[in-house]
Structure 1
Amino acid sequence: MTRDFDDDAPRRLQDAGGLINARRRDEAERIRARQRDDDERIYVVTTNLVIDAQEQLARRRRLDRIWRAGAALSWLSLLAAVIGTGIAWGTTGDLARFVVGYLICGGLFLMSLLTLVGVYFAGRNVSSLQRLEAHLASQQKALWQLKVKSNPDVDERGKLYREEVTTAIEYYQADSRKYRTIHNRHRRPRRLCGRCGQLKRIARNARDGQPDLCDGCYQGPDAICSICSRIRSCASRDEQGQPVCVTCYQRHRTGEPCARCGRTKAVNTRWPIGPVCVTCYTAVLRSPAECPRCGMVQPLIARDDDGAEVCGPCVGFAADYTCKQCGRAGNPHSRGRCAHCVLAERVNALLAGPDGTITPQLEPLAAALADAPSPFPAIQWLKESPNTKLLARLASEGHELSHELLDELPPNRNQRYIRRLLVHTGVLEERNEDLDRIPSWLEHELADKPTAHASLARPFLHWFLLRRARQRAAMRRHPACADRDLRRRVSVALDFLAWTDQRGLALADLAQEHIDDWIAGATSQRRYMIRYFLKWTTSRRLTRELTVPSIPSQEPQDLLDDDDRWRLLQRCLTDDALPPDVRAGGAITLLFGTSTERLCHLTPEHLKFDDEHAHLVLGRHPVLLPPRLAELLRQLAEQPQLRPQLSRAHPGPQWLFPGMVPGKPISTHGMTQKINRTASRSAPRATGRCPPSLLISPARSSPT
Structure 2
Amino acid sequence: MTGRSAPPPEWTELADRITAFLPELPAPEAARIVAGMTPAARTRIRDHLRLHPDALVSGASDAPRSTQALITSLAGAGITGVKAPSCLRCGRVRPLRRAVPGGRVCLGCEGVLAARGNTGPCCVCGETRPRPSNQRCASCQRAHISATRSCSACGKPAALDPCTSCRPRPPARCALCETNAPVCARWPLGPVCKPCYREARTHPGTCPVCQNERVLIAFTDGRRRVCGPCTGRGDPYACPRCASPRSYLIRGLCDRCTLHDELDAVLGPAAETPDDQYARMRAALASCDQPRTALNWIRNSHSARLLAGLTGTGRPLTHDDLETLARSGTRGDAQTTDYLRGILVAYQALPERDELLARIERHLARVVERHPEHALLLRPYVRWSLLPRARRAAHRRAGLKHRIRWAYTRINLAAAFLTAMNERGLALADVTQHEVDAWGAGNPSTHYEVRDFVVWAAHRGHSRPLLVPHRPKADPEGLDEDSHWELLQQCLTDTALPLEVRAAGAVLLLFGQHVTRIAALPADALATVDGHTVLILDRTPIRLPEPLALLLTELTRQEPPGGWAANSPRRWLFPGIRPGLHISSTALARHLTAHHIPVRQARTTALVQLAQDLPPAILAPMLGLHVITAQQWRRRAATDWTAYLEARRRNRRGVPIE
Q: Same fold (TM over 0.5)?
A: yes
Partner of 1:494: 415
1:327 Cα deviation (Å)?
Answer: 2.5
Matches of 1:478 and 1:174 in 2, distance apart?
57
1:395-443: per-residue Cα shift (whole Å, max 9, x none)?
A: 3455542111111224543221111111122221111212223212221
Question: Is 1:175 aligned to residue 117 of structure 2?
Answer: yes
Q: 2:474 aligns with which of 535, 551, 554?
A: 554
In the alignment, the residues of structure 2 paired with residue 341 and residue 306 of structure 1 have an alpha-carbon distance, to the nearest angstrom, of: 35
Pair 1:381-2:297 in alignment:
yes
Distance in 2 separating the partners of 1:403 and 1:264: 58
In structure 2, distance between residues paired with 1:541 and 1:434: 28
Answer yes or no: is 1:413 the counterpart of 2:332: no
What per-residue deviation string (whole Å, max 9, x for no partner) do you get for residues 535-569 of structure 1? 3222321112222212223246x754345545655
Match of 2:385 in 1: 464
Query: Compared with structure 1, are the counterparts of its residues 578 and 505 closer, same or farther at alpha carbon in structure 2 (3 Å cutoff)?
Result: farther
Alignment partner of 2:306 out of 385, 390, 410 = 390
Q: State the partner residue of 1:517.
A: 438
> What CA distance in whole angstroms lies between the structure 2 residues aligned with 1:501 and 1:256?
75
| Contact 1:636 1:656 (8 Å CA) reproduced | yes
Within 5 Å, give how 1:612-691 maps onto structure 2.
Answer: 618=537, 619-624=540-545, 626=547, 630-631=550-551, 634-635=554-555, 637-645=557-565, 653-672=570-589, 675-676=592-593, 678-679=594-595, 681-685=596-600, 691=606
1:658 positional shift: 1.1
Equivalent positions of 1:147-158 (< 5 A) are none
In structure 2, C-alpha distance between the alignment counterparts of 1:272 and 1:212, rounded to whole Å:
35
Deviation for aligned residue 1:599: 0.8
| Aligned partner (choices 142, 163, 166) of residue 235 of structure 1 | 166
SS in 1 for 2:580: coil
C-alpha contact (below 8 Å) 2:478/2:605 kept by paired residues: no
Aligned to 1:544: 464
Give the Cα separation in 2 of the matches to 1:454 and 1:498: 12
Matched, 1:372 2:292: no
After superposition, the C-alpha distances for 1:336-357 in whole angstroms (9 at most, x for unaligned) are 4222111222233334599xx9
The one-letter amino acid paired with 1:658 is: P
Give the corresponding residue for 1:205. Answer: 147
Q: Is the 8 A contact 2:278 2:349 kept in 1?
A: yes
- Give the whole-Å Cα distance in 2 for the aligned partners of 1:369 and 1:400: 20
Structure 1: unaligned runs, 5 residues or longer: 1-171, 192-199, 223-232, 240-252, 696-704
Partner of 2:351: 429
Contact map agreement 1:407 1:437 (CA 8 A) in 2: no
* Matched letter for residue 596 of structure 1: V
Tell me, in whole angstroms, the C-alpha distance in 2 between the residues paired with 1:617 and 1:559: 25
Q: 3-state DSSP class of the match of 1:437?
A: helix
Is the Cα contact below 8 Å between 2:175 and 2:190 reproduced in 1? Answer: no
Cα offset for 1:506?
Answer: 0.8
1:281 offset after TM fit, Å? 5.3
- Going from structure 1 to structure 2, the CA distance change for 1:453 and 1:675 (only over 3 Å counts) comes to farther
SS at match of 1:236: coil
For 1:507 and 1:416, locate their aligned partners in 2 and report how far apart those are by CA, in whole Å. Answer: 36
Give the equivalent residue in structure 2 for 1:601: 520
Alpha-carbon displacement from aligned partner over 1:148-185 (angstroms, at most 9, x marks no partner) = xxxxxxxxxxxxxxxxxxxxxxxx98935669625277
Kept in 1: contact 2:169–2:183 (CA 8 A): no
The letter for the 2-side match of 1:491 is N
> Contact 1:572 / 1:578 at 8 angstroms: preserved in 2?
yes
5 Å matches for 1:62-101? none
Aligned equivalent of 2:5: none
Cα distance change on mapping 1:546 and 1:304 into 2, 3 Å: same
**Secondary structure, aligned partner of 2:544:** strand
C-alpha displacement at 1:381, in angstroms?
2.7
Higher alpha-carbon deviation: 454-463 or 381-390: 381-390
Cα-to-partner distance string for 1:635-684 (whole Å, 9 max, x where unaligned): 56412332135867xxx6531211233222123345345545x45x5432
Q: Output one character per residue of 1:236-276: Cα deviation in whole Å (capped at 9) or x when no partner.
A: 2466xxxxxxxxxxxxx444251xx7788766545555555
Q: Secondary structure at the match of 1:545?
A: coil
Judging changes above 3 Å, is the alpha-carbon distance between structure 1 residues 220 and 311 closer, same or farther for their aligned structure 2 residues?
closer
User: What residue is the counterpart of 1:330 in the other structure?
Assistant: 245
- Distance change >3 Å, CA 592–CA 616, structure 1 → 2: same
When normalised by structure 2's length, the TM-score is 0.60
Paired position in structure 1 for 2:174: 256
C-alpha spacing 1:255/1:488, structure 2 compared with 1 (3 Å): farther
Q: Does 1:350 align with 2:266?
A: yes
Q: Which one has a bigger Cα radius of gyration? A: 1
Label 1:390 to 1:688 Cα distance change in 2 as closer, same or farther (>3 A).
Answer: farther
Q: Contact conserved, 1:615 with 1:625, CA < 8 A, in 2?
A: no
The 1:184/1:585 distance shift into structure 2, 3 A limit, reads farther
RMSD of aligned residue pairs (Cα, Å): 4.7
- The SS at the match of 1:361 is coil
- The answer to whether the Cα contact below 8 Å between 1:595 and 1:687 also exists between their aligned partners in 2 is no
| Alignment CA distance shift 1:583-1:213 (3 Å) | farther
Amino acid corresponding to residue 166 of structure 2 in structure 1? A
The question of whether the paired residues in 2 share the 8 Å contact of 1:600 and 1:668 is answered with yes
